Structure 1
Amino acid sequence: MSVTPLVIVALIAIIAGAVIGIIVRKKILENKLDSAEDYSRKLILEASKQAETIRKEAQLQAKDKLYQMKLDFEDATKSRTKELQNQERRLFQKEGTLEKRIEQLEQREGLIAKEEAALANRDNVLKKKEGEFDSLIEEERQKLERIAGISVTEAKEMLVSSMESEARHEASKLIKKIEAETREISNRKAQEILALAIKRYAGDYVAEGSVSVVNLPNDEMKGRIIGREGRNIRALEAATGIDLIIDDTPEAVVLSGFNPIRREVAKVALERLIEDGRIHPARIEEIVERVSREIEVNIKEAGEQATFDIGLHGIHPELIKLIGRLKYRSSYAQNVLEHSMEVAFLCGIMASELKLDEKQAKRIGLLHDIGKAVDHEVEGAHA
């Protein structure tokens, strides 16, 4: 009997504890549910607030964008409107100009129509008068034929024959007069041109011969030039091709030869030998060879200087050398290079007066005696 109450009490206690636990657990669950609902409500409230904020910001942005688009549209509309107004104004101006031109053209057409009508009337009047004149001419022609007893064709032939004879006579007289005047003018013009050319160019004239003279410091030098048994003079003549004439002329030696270049070589070589004092065959050959080379250089320089003085360019180098050789040539006691330059200048002056090619005329004048620069070994005339 003692155990049963305890069991009952224990069972009651267990049941009471279970009931209390269930009640406590339920209360805890209810509290948790209340907290979750509060948290959910807070989240929903915050989400609503954020959504409202975003919505308001979007509305503001949309309003700003719409306002900006409205401003842009208004600006574009104003610009386009202004452009259209300008185009419209220009079109109105063009339209006004076209209307004025059309009006002017219409006025011109009216004037042209009036002028055409006037011209047509004049043409009719002229045709009428022409017919009247033709009738009068025909009447007068018939009267003249009756009076003269000849036809119009015969009268024309007689008139043409008479006029032809008279014209030929007058033409013959005129031609003779023109020929005489032309001849007189040509002669006078030629004299004027020659006088002008001679007046504008006055060259020096120096006569040249076929001998050269070398002055000696004393007569004893003649013996040194001759050398032992005449070997020096023979060597000099053989090297230069020039004859040395040593006579009673005091303190002088005469060089004779028709080749002026060789004569110049001999003259310069002998002067240097006298100045040097060493006169023997080997030295003579050395000096003559050196002087010959120098003379060739001088010939080229003389040709170049002559063409430069005259104003000619582009001449072949071989021709330059031949022109330079003319410096040592003479013709009729006159230096050929100086003569050729004189002719070149005169030809240039006359060509200028006659309106011809001045440079071509100078070239012809300079080269007209170029054949005289060629040695005698070459056949043919100098021209």
Structure 2
Amino acid sequence: QDYQKKENELELFKTDLIEKSSRYENRLNELNEVIQKEMTQMENVAQFSAEEAKQWIIDKLKVEARNEGAENAMAIKNEMKERASREAKDVLAKAIENMAYEYTVESTLSSIPLVNDRIKGMIIGREGKNIRAIEDITSVKVIVDETPETVIISCFDPIKRDIASRTITELINNKNINPNEVARIYKKKKQDVEKEMRRAAADCLRLLNIKNVSDEMFEMLGRLKYRTSYGQNILQHSIEVAKLAGYMAGELGLDIELAKRAGLFHDLGKANSHDAEASHVAIGVEVATRAKEHPVVINAVLSHHEEAEPISPISVLVNAADKISGSRPGARRDSLEQYTNRIESLERIASNKDGVNKVYALSAGREVRVIVEPKMMSDAQAHLLSSDIAKEIQESMEYPGQIKVTVIRQSIENAMTNTYNYNSGNGNGNGKGNGNGHKKNRNKVVEEG
């Protein structure tokens, strides 16, 4: 009986559970119908389907996330840039403060002052035989008829020009000018210049404590005393690059001696490039390879003009030191044509970007100031624009040092009060309003080095 009673109770409980489940399912269906009805009404009012509304929300969140990401990336980039800049400036400042070279900008002309113009007749000689002998033996052009009491020597090879200048000066001092004497004095002065070049090479190696240099590289190093690039003496430049690279290598825990060696020989090819068809880089690599120089030295010669990727941090340091030395004020001179072309290229690159209103190249082409339309880009987009311009300049132009790109986004908003109503004045009868116009001026400046 107890068993039968329990079974009956269980059957009643099961029936009750089925009824409740049925009522719950019916209620759930009713709720789904209500929800569907409400969604249909909302779609009709908003003229959006549920999928379209979902996609609209997703797109909006994407835009917000992208903008927030750009702002965060900009903040992180600025923080890292400032940190890296501080550390790099500290290393470079310590390296540069040890450099105290004075630069002399050289030309392709040398002049010799004369006591009077009668000496010009002696230099020319009867029927011009003396001046022809001087030009044939020294391989220079002697100009005597353009400047009073001055002889001008013209030659692109500074070694030949210096030997000729010394030869003519001694001929004038001896007051004995004839073809035989020209040949004798020229031979003597040529030997003097060659000795001075060897002495300059030895002094340079002693200064930097560099040993085991091949005879060919030693001779070429001496000739760099007479080579210039944009007016900057190449031997002096090479010594400075070696010192800068060595100092920075020491700060970074790299091989100081190897860095100085790579810095000294990075422009060695310029000693022979005057009359050669190959570039100074190709000549330098060939000579260094023949001398069995360290692979890092050879790579520094190749990579400082980006003809190869650096294989060592030392190659990167040599490249940096080369740019520092070449970009120091007074180190090199630009021709008017080069200067004009650089300015035009900078302004053209920035002007071609969308949203740019005006472009100004400042500080002799070391800064580009870009004014943009505020309605066409946000602050984050202005930051990206400065990076894009800086990147394109870096990829398409050659320049010493750095060029700073400054993007200015300026927004000016004006609001004026209503015209003053005399009848609603303040009762003083002076007809002057008491409202003040207001003006908002917002400026955003973004810089990219």
TM-score, normalised to structure 1, is: 0.52
Instruction: Provide the identity percentage.
Output: 42
Is the Cα–Cα contact under 8 Å of residues 273 and 279 in structure 2 kept in the other structure?
no
Shift, 1:302, TM fit: 0.8
Are residue 266 (structure 1) and residue 164 (structure 2) matched? yes
Q: 1:375 to 1:184 in 2, by over 3 A?
A: closer
Shift, 1:354, TM fit: 1.0
Are residue 287 (structure 1) and residue 162 (structure 2) matched? no
Are residue 214 (structure 1) and residue 112 (structure 2) matched? yes
Q: Higher strand proportion, which one?
A: 2
Q: 1:209 to 1:377 in 2, by over 3 A?
A: closer
Instruction: Find 1:238's aligned residue among 132, 136, 147.
Output: 136
Are residue 365 (structure 1) and residue 280 (structure 2) matched? no
Are residue 355 (structure 1) and residue 243 (structure 2) matched? no
Are residue 191 (structure 1) and residue 89 (structure 2) matched? yes
- Structure 1: which 5+ runs fail to align? 1-175
Instruction: Find 1:381's aligned residue among 279, 284, 301.
Output: 279
Supply the AA of the counterpart residue of 1:345.
Answer: K
Q: Higher helix proportion, which one?
A: 1
Q: 1:228 to 1:200 in 2, by over 3 A?
A: same
Count of paired positions: 210
Q: Distance in 1 between matches of 2:146 and 2:274?
A: 33
Cα-to-partner distance string for 1:176-223 (whole Å, 9 max, x where unaligned)? 999886654333211211111111212111111110011222211100
Q: 1:375 to 1:227 in 2, by over 3 A?
A: farther
Cα-to-partner distance string for 1:291-332 (whole Å, 9 max, x where unaligned)? 112211111111111111122122112211111111111111
Partner of 1:346: 244
SS of the equivalent of 1:200 reads: coil
Q: 1:330 to 1:376 in 2, by over 3 A?
A: closer
Partner of 1:157: none
Q: Distance in 2 between matches of 1:236 and 1:195?
A: 49
Supply the AA of the counterpart residue of 1:381.
Answer: S
Within 5 Å, give how 1:160-179 maps onto structure 2: none
Q: Which 4+ stretches in 1 moved above 4 angstroms?
A: 176-184
Partner of 1:313: 211
Q: Distance in 2 between matches of 1:259 and 1:215?
A: 21
Is the Cα–Cα contact under 8 Å of residues 108 and 156 in structure 2 kept in the other structure?
yes
Instruction: Find 1:334's aligned residue among 218, 222, 232.
Output: 232
Q: Distance in 2 between matches of 1:339 and 1:376?
A: 17
Is the Cα–Cα contact under 8 Å of residues 111 and 151 in structure 2 kept in the other structure?
yes
The Cα RMSD (Å) is 2.2
Q: 1:375 to 1:225 in 2, by over 3 A?
A: farther
Supply the AA of the counterpart residue of 2:90.
Answer: E
Q: Distance in 2 between matches of 1:196 and 1:213?
A: 40
Is the Cα–Cα contact under 8 Å of residues 138 and 164 in structure 2 kept in the other structure?
yes
Q: 1:238 to 1:188 in 2, by over 3 A?
A: same
Q: Distance in 2 between matches of 1:214 and 1:302?
A: 24
Supply the AA of the counterpart residue of 2:200.
Answer: A
Q: Distance in 2 between matches of 1:184 and 1:274?
A: 62
Q: Distance in 1 between matches of 2:81 and 2:111?
A: 53
Q: Distance in 2 between matches of 1:209 and 1:178?
A: 48
SS of the equivalent of 1:255 reads: strand
TM-score, normalised to structure 2, is: 0.44
Q: Distance in 1 between matches of 2:125 and 2:273?
A: 31
Q: Distance in 1 between matches of 2:145 and 2:79?
A: 66
Q: Distance in 2 between matches of 1:182 and 1:364?
A: 30
- Higher radius of gyration, 1 or 2: 1
Cα-to-partner distance string for 1:240-296 (whole Å, 9 max, x where unaligned)? 111001125232100001000000010011111111111001111111112112211
Q: Distance in 1 between matches of 2:194 and 2:98?
A: 33
Q: Distance in 2 between matches of 1:267 and 1:195?
A: 40
Partner of 1:302: 200
Partner of 1:3: none
Supply the AA of the counterpart residue of 1:208.
Answer: E
